[in-house]
Structures are given as C-alpha cells and as structure tokens.
Amino acid sequence: MAKKPSMSATEAKKKAMANRGTFDASGKSLGRPYHHLTLAAVKPYVKASADSCAIWGDTLTACVPPAFSLRYAELKAQLTETMAADEYQKAAEIAASLVKALAVMDTTARAAGHMPPAIDGLLVEWGDKVYCILASGDIGAVRRDHGSWTVYHASDVAALLSGRANSIMAAVVNAFPSAKITHVGPMVEDAIDL
C-alpha cells in the first residue's frame, strides 16, 4: 500500500487559516453550539435549577402532587425543543415558567411537611445525574437512602483529582483562572485503586 504524503507545515498553516473562526462539530457528541441568545435566555433557569438541586437533589418532584411534577417535566421537554431550534424568545418564556415552577414546588413541598435531604456535603446536577460530594457522615446510608444519586466522599474526589488531572488542571487554571471542567473522556491506561 502506498504511503500518503504528509502535509507540509506551510500547507497545514494554510488549512488552519482557511478554517479559522469555524466550528466543526461533526463526529463529536456536542452537535452544533446553541446561539448565544438562546444561552442567555435559559441562564436564569440554569441557575435556579442548580440552586434547587443544591438543596433538594432530585427529591423535589417526588414531594409535590403528580400534576406539578408532570407539568415541570413537560416544560423541561419544551425547553429542550426550543433550545434545539434556537427559538430564544420562546425559550426565555419557558425558562421563566420553569423558574416559577421550582419556587412553587419548593413552597408546596415544605407546606406539605417535606424537608430537603439533610446531608453534610454538596449536591450537584451534572447532565441528568445528581452527584453528592459527602463531607462527613455515613456514605452507605446516603447511598441507600438516595439510590438515584452518585455519591462520593470528598476524599474520593480528591483521590480522583490527585492523579494526572491535578497536573493538567494546575497548568490550565494558572493560565485561565476561571476555567471549569466541561467534559471528561474515557480514562485510557489509568487504574483506579479501590
């Protein structure tokens, strides 16, 4: 089989300059990026959802009447559709309704005598999952009581980050102090000692 000639540095530079300012998401799970106005439209809901998750985890919808939970799920599905279509004005309306829905569900749940889970740690929603970073307490009990959560002790998180990620992140945050991890690919040739 004949070997394909490699691209010269000059050709590579020309190709890079020709594609400057473009974003090719083909072959990636990201798809095309959302329009910046769509992101701005949903920002209040993203914050309200993160704040609610930090208090309730994923338990809030189970503490309100089924009609509330169903309507909330419908609104979230509608928001996903409008974001995909970059209909930012409609997304802003739905996001505002979702913010109100979270406040109403919180008030309704508390009025019915429900209380948020009492844990010493952080609750964070990442994608479709709720992660609990436990600072102290019985990790087994938290895992049993909240089977839908992914629960780690803070020392587990430190152990995971202390490997290669620590040196990589140190270099990144020194150059970009506000940097955040947005995606982690598969771990290749790494081993987690349990």
Three-state SS for 151? strand
68-127, pLDDT tens digit by residue?
999 999 999 999 999 988 899 999 999 999 999 999 999 999 999 999 999 999 999 888
Specify the pLDDT at position 26: 47
User: What is the pTM (predicted TM-score) of this model?
Assistant: 0.69
The domain spans of the chain are: 34-116, 118-184
Specify the pLDDT at position 146: 92
Question: For residue 178, how many other CB atoms are within 10 A of its CB?
Answer: 5
User: For residues 4 and 143, which has the higher predicted lDDT (pLDDT)?
Assistant: 143
Specify the pLDDT at position 114: 95
Q: Is 129 exposed, middle or buried (0-12, 13-18, 19+ CB in 10 A)?
A: exposed
Specify the pLDDT at position 33: 78
Alpha helices in 33-87, H assignment, sequence order: 36-56, 66-84
Specify the pLDDT at position 181: 74
Specify the pLDDT at position 27: 45
pLDDT interval class at 4 (50, 70, 90):
low
